[in-house]
Structures are given as C-alpha cells and as structure tokens.
Structure 1
Amino acid sequence: MRADRLVSLLLLLQNRGRMTADQLAAELEVSVRTVYRDVEALHTAGVPLYGESGHAGGYRLVAGYRTRLTGLTVREAEALFLSGAPDAAARLGLGPVLTAAQLKVRAALPGELAAHADRISARFHLDAPGWYAPDEDVPHLTAVADAVWNSRVLRVRYRRWKEPTEVERRLEPYGLVLKAGRWYVVAASGTPEAPGAPRSFRVDQILRLDPPTEGFERPAGFDLAAFWTAYQRDFHARLHQGEAVVRLSPRGLARLGGAAARAAEATGRAEDDGWTRAVLPIESVDHAHDTFLGLGTDIEVVAPEELRRRMAGTVRELAARYAANPARIARSTGE
C-alpha cells in the first residue's frame, strides 16, 4: 500500500502544485509524520521534489516535471465508471480506489484539459437519492457487489411482498443497478440447469447471505443497461393496466407528473369552463382513489363509476367530519 500512497502523493503535487504536509496528510488520510517519511523516500528515488518553509511554504515538484506513472489498475478502471456517484463508489468499497483513478487520469491530461475537468467537477454534482428517501441500511451490498464482479452464486434468504414473504433463493448475479437511491441486483433465480430469466431483486431485502462457494458462467452478450431499460418499460406497462376519465382544473393539470402528465398531454381535451377532460392510466381503484384525493378540488373523476363512488363517499365523510359540532371537538382535545 505504501507504493500506492507514494504515487498518489506524487500525482497530488503534479496536479495541484504546492501543498503543505498537513494538506497532503489530510488527502492521503495519514499522519504528517508519514508524509515526511514519504517525501524523503521520493527524494531518495530521485524525484525532483523540494520543500519551502514559511507561511507560503510547502512541497513542490521542479517546474516541468511530470510523472509517467499514470497506468490504471483494474480496480481503478472499474471505479471510474462510478465517478459521477462517489457515494455509490464508497458503498461498494471503491472510494479510495476511485480517488486514485481520478488522480491518474487528471495527471495524464494536458494542462488546458485538466483545467476544463476541474471546472466541470466544480460546477456539477450528482446526488441521486430524493430529499425524503431514508438512508437505507444495505448490509449485504459489498458482498453482492463482490459476487457480481467475480461471477459467484449467491444463496440468500429474501423478503418479498407476497406470501410467503420470506423465501430461499439461489441467484446468479449479472449486475447492480442504483435507482433513485435504492440498490437492485439483476440476477437469474433457479437451478444450475435452469437458472431462469433475469429479474431484479432489492439488495436491502436480502435478510441473510451465505458465503459464496460456487461460480457461474455469465451469459455472453448480456447488456445490463439494455435489460434495465426494457425492465422499466415492462414494469410501467404492467403497473398501469387500468384507465380513469377525469376532469382537471388548470392548476390540477399543472400538478400532474410522470405517466399521468404524459397521458393528459396526449388525450386532454379543453372544455368550455376552462377545465381539461383526459384519460389517465391507473394501477387500481384503490391506488387512484388515494392519488386523486391529493389533487383536492382540482380534479373530478368521471369514470369508472366505482372510482367516482369511492371519491364521493370519501368527500362526504370528510365534509361531515369537518362540519362536526365545535363543542364536541373542544371536549375531545381537552380545551
């Protein structure tokens, strides 16, 4: 590991110019004393490195010196594919590896391109999870990632939504996907003779994972990105198997999002009162009832009749509740 650290120290100075021992220690996550020893080792190896004392002091390479030690290791090349998601790289155990790979790439760039790369990283940052998504505990993520890298079979106890909720599964993992802050492993589930078609499994729903002892042959030509695109398309097609005819106020129309907004744009027809009649996809009457209530008075359900009755019944119940005797409400709250 010391050789890797010496290369990282050298690349830091090449990329950033003068740096103090404290700054180098913080970047390399070592003590200042270790930095002193590493600098002495580089001196001994003939690297033209010198130190300056005083307020503006620090370590610096002789002007014009550039190292050729910029070859990427296999792990660093893997980590570069996660350079836009540093938190994801850290969760997969690739945080330090990613930092080393980025240093090597930047050191190999001409000055003008390196400055351009710095401007990009200073102005754009990717934060995949939503504001209200909890920071989920994914204890088996590193083990699953290792099985993906090395084509090892996973034997897991998995929690699913239908009965029986806890099942044993043999998985041949083809890849990992990070979607909206949630990790999924794309894997075939079955026997060695009949592994089955690939499906997605939430990594945080793996309750137990046995140490992998068996390898498998990853299908030649399997395209993880293409699979995930098709999977999402099929998922949404299965999800929205019903339809509802609704009327929307201008405000209600503006509040739609996702598939509902696209459907309203495609099927919407303006009416004389300024509202829009549209056909929206729905998962079920129950789900549509809960979703449409969120639009309040900016939506009117026209069909199906079952959904319209459900909405009307809820509205009547709410009206009765809010029209209750104020004296009774005061008694119930202790006022």
Structure 2
Amino acid sequence: MRASRLVSVLLLLQAKGRMTAQALADELEVSVRTIYRDVESLHAAGVPLYGDAGPSGGYQLLDGYRTRLTGLTAQEAESLFLAGLPGAAADLGLGDAVSAAQLKLMAALPSSMRDRASHMATRFHLDAPAWYYDPERSPFLGLVADAVWRERLLEVSYRRWRAPEDVTRVLRPLGLVLKAGRWYLVAQGSTRISTYRVSQIQAAAVLEETFERPEAFDLAAHWTASLEEFQSRQYTGSAVIRLSARGWESFSSNVLPVVARAAEESAVDDGEGVRVTIPIESLGHATGMLLRMGGEVEVLEPAELREQVTESVRALASIYLG
C-alpha cells in the first residue's frame, strides 16, 4: 500500500507540478504527517524532490525529472481498456489516436498483463446512447471541441426551445460532456455559465481571440451541480397516489430514478395498496406518466390532477367504447 502511495505522489507531482503537503494529503486521503514521511522516503531513495516553505511553497520535482510508469497492477491494466468510449473518441476525431495509444500501452505491458488486458477488451463493450435513441448528429462537434481545447472564443447560432428560438452568442467554451449519447457544451456567456446541446448549434465559428478559464472551474463538479439544480427546477409540485401490489412492483421501471426514490422513501401500506408521494413536473406530464400504468395506480391528490386523469380516461372510453 505504501509503495503504491509513493508512486502516486511522484505521478501527482509529475502531472501537476508544485503541490503543498496538504494538497497531496487531500488527494491521497492521508494525513499531512504521512506525506512528510513519504517525502523523506523519496529523498532517501534519491528522487530529486525539493520543497519551499511559505504560502506559495510546496513540493516539486527537479525540472526534467520523469518517472517511468512501471507499477501498473493487473487490475489497473485491465481497467485502462474500459476508461474510454471508442464512439465518443471517434466523434471528437480522436478514434485513431485512442487506438494507437492502446496499441502502445499493450506493447509496453508485460506478457501476463497483456493477456489479461486483451481478455477484458474482448468481453466488455461500452455503448453510451440510451435504448430507443439513435446518437444525435452534431456536425459542429469537432469545431466546438477545437475551441474548447485551444481556449478560443466561439460564435454560435443556437436554436433554443423558447422564443426567440434562434439566437447568436459569443461563448467561452469550458468543456464538453457526453450524456446518454448526447453532447453538451458547458460555456460562459456574457453573464453566467450555461449548458448548450451541441446538436442544436446551427452554425459555429472559432474566433481568433482567446480567453482565460475561471481558475476554480471544475467541469465534473459543475455538471453534477447543474443536474441537481435542473431536477429541483423540473419538479414544481407533488402528488399522492395509491399503487396496487402489481403497480408497486413495476413502478420504478416506469418512472425516472428521482421519482422512484421519492416513492420508496414515502411508501406506506394503507390497507388498500401502497400510498406514496412523488414529485411532478406539471399536471399534463404527470397525467401521461400515470396513465401508462392503467388501473394499477389511483391519483389521490391533488384534486386537479385526479380530475385531469379522469377526463383523459373518459375521452379514451368515448373513443373505444362509443
């Protein structure tokens, strides 16, 4: 365990440059005292590592020092072949580069690890798009990725869902996210950071002007926070429903995970079925969602939703029963 941590210290300093003892401790989830001991061990082993005191200080490897990556475990070698999505790499124009990198990595591995890595690659395949959805066409994805990589301003003509539908924006592109087979651009506009669906970009041009990324911006953290905010805005009300035994058994497969979790947390057996409280987006959306379950669900509250479901059932009856 300690040998693995020493290698991790070296790789972190090699990748990030100067780091404080506290930053290393946070990254490796150990105490600062442990980092001090690890640094002493690396010194004793002859690693050209030095530290500076003060607020802007930290540990740093001597310029030009590189360590060879010879400490891969068998499990790490296997996992590397699951680390990337070949389809996504191809979308970004990096398919050949990924294939070449994997070939070079395979050639560098010992024969025993090479066999295990090949074993993994032939038995697992990653397919990002969700069921029943074809991957979206995003003709400007390569151009957008280039702007992200080179930190260039990006001018786009974008089609929104609300009026005015077609707008022109000059954006600071901060990152790309692949979600369920769809590419999203996270970019800073004139006032705030927003998310743009790449397939909705109608035209794009990379400008010569560069920009500075916000120093504290973390793409993964921002995306997670954005999803949570979206869900909080998406569900504006709640409903109380009663499910039959059969309806309760199949409920989670008919709704989104956030709705299924709310149902599980609020479930009560009231003698006639399972009574739950769930979040809803709107009366219309909730009506369509609940009608899919037929007679296995009964709306109890609010009265407006119960009435809308009743009207929908009456309309269906008039069509099929005359």
TM-score by length of 1: 0.69
Q: Is the 8 A contact 1:145 1:176 kept in 2?
A: yes
Find the aligned partners of 1:135 and 1:186 in 2 and give their Cα distance. 19
Aligned to 1:289: 287
Q: Does 1:248 align with 2:258?
A: no
- C-alpha deviations, 1:49-80, integer Å up to 9, x for none? xxxxxxxxxxxxxxxxxxx9xxxxxxxxxxx8
1:52-131 correspondence runs (5 A): 83-131=83-131
Q: Does 1:238 align with 2:229?
A: no
Could you tell me how far 1:81 is from its partner in structure 2?
10
CA distance 1:82–1:208, shift in 2 (3 Å): farther
Find the aligned partners of 1:112 and 1:276 in 2 and give their Cα distance. 54
Secondary structure of 1:289 counterpart: helix
Find the aligned partners of 2:294 and 2:167 in 1 and give their Cα distance. 41
Q: Is the 8 A contact 2:81 2:121 kept in 1?
A: no
Find the aligned partners of 1:255 and 1:163 in 2 and give their Cα distance. 39
Secondary structure of 1:138 counterpart: coil
CA distance 1:220–1:81, shift in 2 (3 Å): farther
Q: Is the 8 A contact 1:186 1:198 kept in 2?
A: yes
1:292-311 correspondence runs (5 A): 292-311=290-309
Could you tell me how far 1:197 is from its partner in structure 2?
2.5
Report the residue type matching 1:270 in the other structure: D
Q: Is the 8 A contact 2:176 2:186 kept in 1?
A: yes
Find the aligned partners of 1:155 and 1:81 in 2 and give their Cα distance. 36
CA distance 1:183–1:125, shift in 2 (3 Å): same
Aligned to 1:263: 262
Find the aligned partners of 2:123 and 2:251 in 1 and give their Cα distance. 31
CA distance 1:263–1:294, shift in 2 (3 Å): same
Find the aligned partners of 1:251 and 1:128 in 2 and give their Cα distance. 31
Q: Structure 1 stretches (4+) deviating beyond 2 angstroms? A: 80-84, 254-257
- C-alpha deviations, 1:236-261, integer Å up to 9, x for none? 11111210000011222222231121
Find the aligned partners of 1:300 and 1:215 in 2 and give their Cα distance. 57
Stretches of structure 1 lacking an aligned partner (at least 5 in a row): 1-67, 69-79, 191-195, 325-335
CA distance 1:179–1:81, shift in 2 (3 Å): farther
Find the aligned partners of 1:81 and 1:242 in 2 and give their Cα distance. 44
Could you tell me how far 1:210 is from its partner in structure 2?
2.2
Find the aligned partners of 1:232 and 1:81 in 2 and give their Cα distance. 28
Secondary structure of 1:124 counterpart: coil
Could you tell me how far 1:123 is from its partner in structure 2?
1.6
Q: Comparing 118-127 with 158-167, which one deviates more in the overlay? A: 118-127
Larger Rg: 1
Q: What is the number of equivalent residue pairs in this alignment?
A: 241
Q: Is the 8 A contact 2:152 2:206 kept in 1?
A: no
Aligned to 1:32: none
TM-score by length of 2: 0.72
Aligned to 2:196: 201
Find 2:315's aligned residue among 305, 314, 317. 317
Q: Comparing 90-99 with 125-134, which one deviates more in the overlay? A: 125-134
Find the aligned partners of 2:94 and 2:266 in 1 and give their Cα distance. 47
Secondary structure of 2:152 counterpart: coil
Report the residue type matching 2:192 in the other structure: A
Question: What RMSD, in angstroms, separates the aligned Cα atoms of the two structures?
Answer: 1.8
- C-alpha deviations, 1:261-298, integer Å up to 9, x for none? 1111100101213x100100000111101111111111
Find the aligned partners of 2:245 and 2:170 in 1 and give their Cα distance. 51
Q: Is the 8 A contact 2:187 2:194 kept in 1?
A: yes
- C-alpha deviations, 1:277-323, integer Å up to 9, x for none? 01000001111011111111111001111110000111112112211
Find the aligned partners of 2:117 and 2:82 in 1 and give their Cα distance. 16
- C-alpha deviations, 1:141-191, integer Å up to 9, x for none? 00000001110110111011111011111110110000000000100011x
Aligned to 2:277: 279
Q: Is the 8 A contact 1:176 1:185 kept in 2?
A: yes
Secondary structure of 2:209 counterpart: coil
Stretches of structure 2 lacking an aligned partner (at least 5 in a row): 1-67, 69-79
Report the residue type matching 2:117 in the other structure: A
- C-alpha deviations, 1:86-122, integer Å up to 9, x for none? 0110010001111111111111111111111111111
Secondary structure of 1:217 counterpart: coil
